[in-house]
Amino acid sequence: MKPINVGLLGIGTVGGGTFTVLTRNAAEIARRAGRPIQIGIVADKNLELARQVTGGRCKLTDDAFAVVSDPEVDIVVELIGGYGIAKELVLKAIENGKHVVTANKALLAVHGNEIFAAAQKKGVMVAFEAAVAGGIPIIKALREGLTANRIEWIAGIINGTTNFILSEMRDKGLAFDVVLKEAQRLGYAEADPTFDIEGIDAAHKLTIMSAIAFGIPMQFNRAYIEGISQLDAVDIKYAEQLGYRIKLLGITKRTPDGVELRVHPTLIPAKRLIANVEGAMNAVLVQGDAVGATLYYGKGAGAEPTASAVIADLVDITRMHTADPEHRVPHLAFQPDQLVDLKVLPISEVTTGYYLRMGVEDKPGVLADITRILADQEISIDAMIQREPAEGEQQTDIIMLTHRVREKQVDAAIAQIEALPVVTGKIVRLRLEDLS
């Protein structure tokens, strides 16, 4: 049978991994797909690199638009990244009737609605397993494996860089800046790590999962995003004393009031499996009404783990290449005319538990003043630590964990507590999820 011909845009880390794995496992992949899948043309600005990776086994060009217009190409694999030229290329490929595979979470989170609408109109598929959590097949699980379920919530460690940093801060008691430099030296963090450490990368991935889980459009602009750059090692230590680990989580929940879509450092009970995911690994916890909680764990980045997801998409498209477009798996799991634009809640309306650390003067009556304010806002305390001041010190830390409460009530309480003359500096507030 005639092979499916693939045009590859970008032969960097993931592109190179895709070419290598597809070549190495060609026979096995063909057995599963029902016909051979081959990369016939590669576009990259660095033709010398492309020549080294491919060994001259396919055509090379530095013009990506030539690939998306090539009549011999059946599927375009976009591994360039970013919002700009990648969007133009994907839309042009769709316009030319070609299926698309992409690992570009930023592109889909921001422009996915437009891209999926164009693909639907043209009757082609856009597959994006590699866009979320690297080699973990979480998109397929949400779109197909859990299709009988009403998804209730998702909580994921979906950025390996930040998980590595938090693991090192906890294990070694080091400051954030020190561990970030080490992460950059080891290649876990980019020279400009902003997208990772400020939670933007995780929010792109969470936006995609939320859309699939709840049948809503992509709404990245409504996500609440808070990174780990301001996290203090002392809070990781206090959390440990209270039986919790701090992870940068992407959390999306369906509530009676709307959908929560938020990324932030989160305290998780240390006994939870996801709390023990260390280093640069990823994990996604999904709660369905029928199946309960399911956990997906593995490498969230890297050449061959991500290539594994890219090639899985190529196999899916090859299998469905000749299928009636109306009977393919929908891009966002629900039929396009069944998507609903549920309200995404602002962070002030989110209900969760809280970790509060406040520096106070070591005087009688301080705790009574603080608890009175919390009671006025209907905030109940679940656990507390009061650090004994060192000899000669006039200040100490009070750490409290609260029961679940709406964030705007915590905001009001913090403003009042910070106004007390016995409270020094700003209160550190972190959110807490039991994930039970």
- Pairing assessment for the beta strands 224-225 and 292-299 based on DSSP bridges: unpaired
* Cα 7 from chain centroid (whole Å): 27
Q: State the catalytic residue, choosing from 105, 205, 247, 253.
A: 205
Contacts of 263 (CB under 8 A, 6+ apart): 199, 202, 203, 206, 223, 224, 225, 226, 227, 248, 249, 250, 251
Whether 351 contacts 405, CB under 8 Å: yes
Compute, in degrees rounded to 10, the torsion defined by CA atoms 379, 380, 384, 389: 50
**Residue 163 CA neighbour count, 13 Å, CB half:** 25
Question: What is the rounded distance in angstroms from the CA atom of residue 401 to the CA atom of residue 82?
Answer: 40
Question: What is the rounded distance in angstroms from the CA atom of residue 210 to the CA atom of residue 153?
Answer: 9
What secondary structure letter does DSSP report for 141? I
Contacts of 366 (CB under 8 A, 6+ apart): 360, 398, 420, 422, 423
Collapse the DSSP code of 160 into the 3-class scheme (helix H, G, I; strand E, B; otherwise coil) and give the result. Answer: helix
Collapse the DSSP code of 362 into the 3-class scheme (helix H, G, I; strand E, B; otherwise coil) and give the result. Answer: coil
Whether 373 contacts 417, CB under 8 Å: yes
Contacts of 145 (CB under 8 A, 6+ apart): none
DSSP class per residue in 38-98: EEEEEE-S-HHHHHHHHTTSSEEES-HHHHHT-TT-SEEEE---SSSHHHHHHHHHHHTT-
Whether 18 contacts 7, CB under 8 Å: no
Instruction: Note if 205 is an active site residue.
Output: yes
Closest to 10 measured CA to CA, from 38, 37, 50: 50
- Residues taking part in catalysis: 205
